[in-house]
Chains A and B, each alone.
Chain A
Amino acid sequence: MSSSAEAHVANGEKSPQFHVAHHFPTADIQFNSGKMGIWLFLVTEILLFGGMFCSFAIFRSWYLGGFVEAHHHLDRVMGGINTIVLICSSLTMALAVRAAQTTNKKAVTVLLGLTLAFAATFLVIKYFEYSHKFHDGLLPGIHFTATGFQEPREAGIFFAIYFMMTGIHGFHVLAGMGLITWILIRNLKGQFSSRYYAPVEGVGLYWHLVDLIWIYLFPLLYLVG
C-alpha cells in the first residue's frame, strides 16, 4: 500500500498522505467503492430505525387516543429547536465536505468544529428533555408513574417508543460526534485534500442520515403523536 503513496511523492504530487490501496485499479474506483459501502451501511441504519417506526405505526393505529394524549407532554419548542440545530449541523457538515473538496484545511476545521458544537447542543437539549420526563414519571412500560392520564397503559407504550427511538437516535448522535472528532484530528494532521477526502464524505453521509431520521422523528413524536 505504501508503495503507491511513495510513487505519488516521487511524481511530485501534493497530499503525500493520499494513496490508492493495492487492490483498487484507480483512485476514482476506490472513492466510489467507499461511497457505495457507506450507502449500503445507511440502508442498515434505515432498517434498524425501521423496526421502531413500524412499532410506532402499529401502536399509534391501536392507541390513537392515548398517543395523542401522551404526545402533548413532549415539548415541541425544545423539539423544534433541536430540529433547527440538527439542520444547521447538516449544513456545516455539507460545507465541511465542500471545503475538503477544495483543499481548504482551515475551513474544514472550523466547519467540523461547528458541527460538533451543534451536535453537543442537541444532546444538551435532549438531556433537559429527558430529565424533565424522568421527573414527571413519563417513562416506558412498568415505570410509567405519571398521573392524570386517561390511558396510562397506552401512554406507557408511547413513552417506551419515544425513549427507544430518541435514545437510539441520541446514541447515533454521540457516535457521530466521535467520528467527526476523528476526521477533525485527521484534518489537523493535513491528511485530506481535493484528491483524498473520502472519510470526510463518508462521515458526512452518516451525519446527514442522523439528521434525516430526526426529520421524521420530530413530527411523528412531537407534532402529531
Chain B
Amino acid sequence: MSQTATVDHVVAPDSGKGAVDYIRNGKGIVSWLTTIDHKRIGLMYLGSVVLAFLVGGLFALAVRLELLTPSRTIMSAAGYNQAYTLHGAVMVFLFIIPSIPASLGNFLIPIMVGAKDVAFPKLNLFSLYIFWIGALITLSSLVLGGIDTGWTFYVPYSSRVSTTAVVNVTLGAFIMGFSSILTGLNFIVTMHKLRAPGMSWYRMPLLCWALYATSLVQIVATPVLGITLLLLIFERAFQIGIFDPALGGDPVLFQHFFWFYSHPAVYIMILPGFGIISELIAVHSRRKVFGYKAIAFSSVAIALIGFLVWGHHMFVSGQSELAGTIFSFLTFIVAIPSGIKVFNWTSTLWGGSIKLDTPMLYALVFLILFTIGGLTGVFLGMLGVDLHLHDTYFVVAHFHYVMVGGTAVAFFGGLFHWWPKMTGKMYSEKGGAVSAILVFIGFNMTFFTQFFLGSRGMPRRYYNYLDQFQPLHAFSTVGSWVLGAGFALGIVTLLVSLKNGKQAPANPWGGLSLEWQTASPPITENFESTPVVTHGAYDYPLAQGQKEHA
C-alpha cells in the first residue's frame, strides 16, 4: 500500500496537452444539448433536479402554510389535495429519485473509476431527454386540472373517481422510469467494464458501491412500476377491471404492484445518500473508512432486502394476516445493514482529524436525522404499532427524516463537497455553514413536531384538524420557513460562488479518490492519461498505532 497517497500516471501517446476543461470545451446551448460528455449531462441533470426541488419545495411551503390554521388558511380543500399530491409526485419522481444518481453519480462515477465516460454515452444523453419529456408531461398536469390522488395513485380513487389529470402524471412517471432504468444500466456496465488499471472492486470509492446497489434496484424494480402505471392508465381509460372490485379485480393488488417498486425506490433514494456520507466523513476527517467492506456490502444487502419488505406499507390495506406478519418480520432485517453503516461512520469519525467545513456539517446533520428516521422506521415496521400510527403524521415525520434529513441533506452535502470539482469555484464557507445549521434547526422544528402530532392521532393528508393540534401545526409551519431558508441559502451560496468564487485547486479537501487527482474542473477526457491506481480510495497515511488494512 502506498503511503504517499499519489496516483501514478502513465503517459499515453495522445495525452491531451493544453486540453480545455469540459465546461469551456464547446460553446452555446447546442453544444450542451448534443453533448455526450457525462459531466455535462450530469450538470444538466443537476440543474433540472434542483429546479424540481424548488417547485416541490414551493408546494411544500404552501401545504405547511395552509396547515397553519384549521380549515381554510390560503386555499380550498380541493386545492390542498392537489398541493400535497404535486409536492409528493414532484419531489419523488422529479427530484429525489434522479437527484444523486443522475446528477452527482453521472458526473463522478466515470471519474472515480478512472474512465473517460460512462459505458454508453449516447444512451446517457438519451435518458436525459427521456427524463425531460417525462417531467414535462408530469408538470403539464399543472395546467390541465392538477392531480389529487396523492403521489401513490391508489385505486379505485385514481381509476374511477378523480377527475384530475391522473393520466398525465402517471404517464410522465412511466416515461421517467425509462430514464431511471437506462441510467442504472449505464452505471453498472461502467463499473464492471471501465475501471482503470489497478482499480479493483475494493479500491472503488464507497459512493460507487452505493450507486451500484442503487442501479440494481433501478433496473429490477422500475419495470414493475412501468407495468403498474400502464395498467392504471388502461384501467382508467377502458375499465379493464384488474384493479376494480366491481369487475372482479383487486385494488389491493395495485398496492402490491406499486410498493414492489416504491419500497425498493425508497432505497433508490437513500442508498446514494449513504454513499455520499461515506465519502464526506472519510475525506473531511482524514481517516480511512472504518469497515470498508461492511459499508460496501451493507449497501448491496439493503438493496436486496429492500425487495422483501414492501408489504409493510399495506398493514391496514386488507392484505392477509400471514403476509403482514412476514413483511413485518422482514422489515426489521433492514435495520441491520443500516445500523452497520451508522456505526461504521461514527467509528470513522472517532480519532479522525475532523474539519467542520460545510460538507462535514451536512454529513453530521445527516447522521443525526437519518438515525432518527431509521429508528422510527423500526417502530412503524412493527405490525401492531403501525395499526395505530398508520397514515398519521408520525409516518409523515418518519419518511421526511429519511428522505429530507437523509437524502436531501446528503445531496446538499455532496453538492458542497464536489462543487469545487464540478465548477472550479470555491464557495463561501460561511454561507454553507449557516445553511447547514438552518437546515438542521428548521428541519427538526418542522418534523420532530409531527411525531407528536402523529402519535396523538393527527391523520396525514387532512385539510382540517382539531383545535388542540393548532400550536404544534403552527410550530411546524414556522419550522418549514427556517428549513426553506436554509436550503435557499445553500443554493444561493453555490450560485454566488459561480460569479465571485475563488478558483478552486484540484484537491481542496485532500481527498485520495481519483476525482481529486485531476483538474478542477476536469478536462473533457477526465484525465490527461489513463490513471493507474495503486491504493484504495481512503488509504490516508496511518496515524501511529493504527493497523494496516488487510
Contacts and interface: CB of A to CB of B under 8 A. Distances in A.
Contacts of B249: 141, 157, 160
A189 interface: no
Interface of A: 21-25, 29, 32-34, 36-37, 40-41, 43-45, 47-52, 54-55, 58-59, 63, 140-143, 153-154, 156-157, 160-161, 163-164, 168
B236 to A, nearest CB: 12
B226 A48 contact: yes
Nearest to A29: B193
Given A33-B119, A36-B193, A44 B247 contact: no
Nearest to B215: A40
Nearest to B196: A25
B469 interface: no
Contacts of B470: none
A200 B530 CA distance: 31
Contact of B239 (A40, A142, A168): A142
Contacts of B248: 63, 153-154, 156-157
A54 B224 CA distance: 10
A47 B223 contact: yes
Nearest to B116: A23
Q: Which 8 A-B pairs have the closest CB atoms?
A: A141-B241, A51-B227, A23-B116, A140-B240, A153-B248, A48-B223, A160-B240, A47-B223
Nearest to B244: A141
Interface residues of B, number: 43
A181 B328 CA distance: 50
Interface string B253-294: 100010000000000000000000000000000000000000
Given A43-B220, A44-B222, A164-B234, A157 B241 contact: yes
Contacts of A59: 242
Q: Which of B226, B249, B257 neighbours the largest number of chain A CB atoms within 10 Å of its CB?
A: B249
Contact of B253 (A49, A55, A143, A163): A55
Interface string B175-219: 000000100011011001110000000000000000000000001
A40 B185 contact: yes
A43 B223 CA distance: 9
Contacts of A37: 119-120, 123, 185-186, 189
A141 B240 contact: yes
B231 interface: yes
Contacts of A22: 116-117, 525
B238 A23 contact: no
A41 B126 CA distance: 15
Q: Which of A52, A59, A160, A164 neighbours the largest number of chain B CB atoms within 10 Å of its CB?
A: A160
A157 B238 CA distance: 13
Nearest to B123: A37
B115 interface: yes
B250 interface: yes
A29 B117 CA distance: 14
B228 interface: yes
Q: Which of B117, B123, B223 neighbours the largest number of chain A CB atoms within 10 Å of its CB?
A: B223
Interface string B105-123: 0000010000111111101
A45 B223 contact: yes
Contacts of A55: 231, 242, 253
Secondary structure at the B interface, as helix, strand, loop or mixed, is helix
28 contacts: A21-B121, A23-B110, A23-B119, A32-B193, A33-B192, A33-B194, A36-B188, A40-B188, A41-B181, A43-B219, A43-B220, A44-B222, A44-B223, A48-B223, A50-B227, A51-B257, A55-B231, A140-B240, A142-B240, A142-B247, A153-B247, A153-B248, A156-B241, A156-B247, A156-B248, A157-B241, A163-B240, A164-B234
A23 B194 contact: yes
B117 A48 contact: no
A179 to B, nearest CB: 15
Contacts of A51: 223-224, 227-228, 231, 257
A143 B189 contact: no
Given A44-B222, A51-B257, A154-B248, 14 more contacts: A23-B110, A24-B193, A33-B193, A37-B120, A37-B123, A41-B181, A43-B223, A44-B219, A141-B242, A142-B240, A153-B241, A153-B247, A156-B241, A160-B249
Contacts of A161: 242
Contacts of B530: 25
A33 B189 contact: yes
A141 B231 CA distance: 12
Contacts of B221: 47
Contacts of B230: 168
Contact of A48 (B227, B247, B250): B227
B115 A23 contact: yes
Contacts of B525: 22
Contacts of A52: 227
B391 to A, nearest CB: 25
Interface string B5-35: 0000000000000000000000000000000
A36 B194 contact: no
Contacts of B223: 43-45, 47-48, 50-51
A164 B233 CA distance: 12
Given A37-B119, A51-B228, A141 B238 contact: yes
A38 to B, nearest CB: 9
A140 B253 contact: no
Nearest to B194: A23
A47 B224 CA distance: 6
Contact of B242 (A23, A33, A48, A160): A160
Contacts of A23: 110, 115-119, 121, 194
Interface in B524-550: 525, 530
Contacts of B186: 37
Contacts of A36: 188-189, 192-193
A142 B235 CA distance: 10
Given A43-B219, A156-B248, A164-B231, A140 B238 contact: yes
